[in-house]
Amino acid sequence: MKITTKNLEETHDVAKDFVASLNAIMKNDQMHEGAIVIGLSGDLGSGKTSFVQGVAKHFDIDDKIISPTFVIQKRYEMKNHKNFKNLVHIDAYRLERPEEIIRIGWHDLIKEKGNVIFVEWPEKIAPLLPEGSKKIVFEFIDPETRKLEII
Ligand SMILES: Nc1ncnc2c1ncn2[C@@H]1O[C@H](COP(=O)(O)OP(=O)(O)OP(=O)(O)O)[C@@H](O)[C@H]1O
Ligand SMILES: [Mg+2]
């Protein structure tokens, strides 16, 4: 599915629909094993972090979502959510080797049902992404316009 957004608010609207689809998956699919992992691909400034900010807003997370480029990982607890426990935001941009993600507890993170994990620059850890990971590709069209493809 491809969507063009004309400003940040429209990207946050897409994030809202995406949260609704995640809620539906968790409600209907009792057999879903482990965390839900979503790779966010696309150039610098294409809107990956902005999308996660929209997701957090619609999960009613009040914390300020800042880019985890330097810390690699940020975790936000979803205290009031029935099905989800943590929103995990990873930026793999600065990793030199995929194995470096293991040090932040990657294997436990992806094992835990109730974690929803967004990974910016997923190509950096491609061999370690679990089977069935989702993907969103962001494309910069012009300063205000982005194309999002949800795969
Ligand atoms: N339609 C749009 N959708 C999303 N962001 C937009 C849009 N129009 C303008 N922007 C702006 O583009 C910038 C996107 O930056 P953001 O940090 O989300 O990119 P990123 O893909 O995470 O980059 P990086 O790879 O450096 O982490 C923000 O400043 C945002 O306000
Ligand atoms: Mg970013």
Smallest CA separation from ligand 1 atom 17, residue: 49
Burial (CB < 10 A; 0-12, 13-18, 19+), residue 2, is exposed
Q: Based on the structure, what is the number of domains in the chain?
A: 1
Q: Are the CB atoms for 31 and 49 separated by under 8 Å? A: no
In the structure encoding, which two tokens stand for residue 146, read together?
A: 């982005």
Ligand 1 pocket test, pick from 5, 46, 57 with the greatest ligand atom count within 8 Å of Cβ, gives 46
Average pLDDT, the chain: 94
Smallest CA separation from ligand 1 atom 1, residue: 7
Q: How far is CA 74 from CA 2, 65, 92, 97, in A?
A: 28, 8, 12, 19
Name the band, by pLDDT with cuts 50, 70 and 90, for residue 1.
very high
pLDDT per residue as tens digits for the range 86-111: 999 999 999 999 999 999 999 999 99
Number of the ligand closest to the Cα of 43? 1
Three-state secondary structure readout of 79-93: CCCCCCCEEEEEECC
For the cut 90, the answer to whether the pLDDT of residue 28 exceeds it is no
Q: What residues flank ligand 1, with Cβ below 6 Å?
A: 5, 7-8, 10-11, 42, 44-50, 67, 69, 120, 138, 144-146
Tell me, what CATH number does 134's domain have? 3.40.50.300
For the cut 70, the answer to whether the pLDDT of residue 30 exceeds it is no
- Report the predicted TM-score, pTM, of the whole model to 2 decimal places: 0.96
Number of the ligand closest to the Cα of 67? 2
Domain that holds residue 78: 2-26+35-150
Percent of the chain with pLDDT over 90: 85
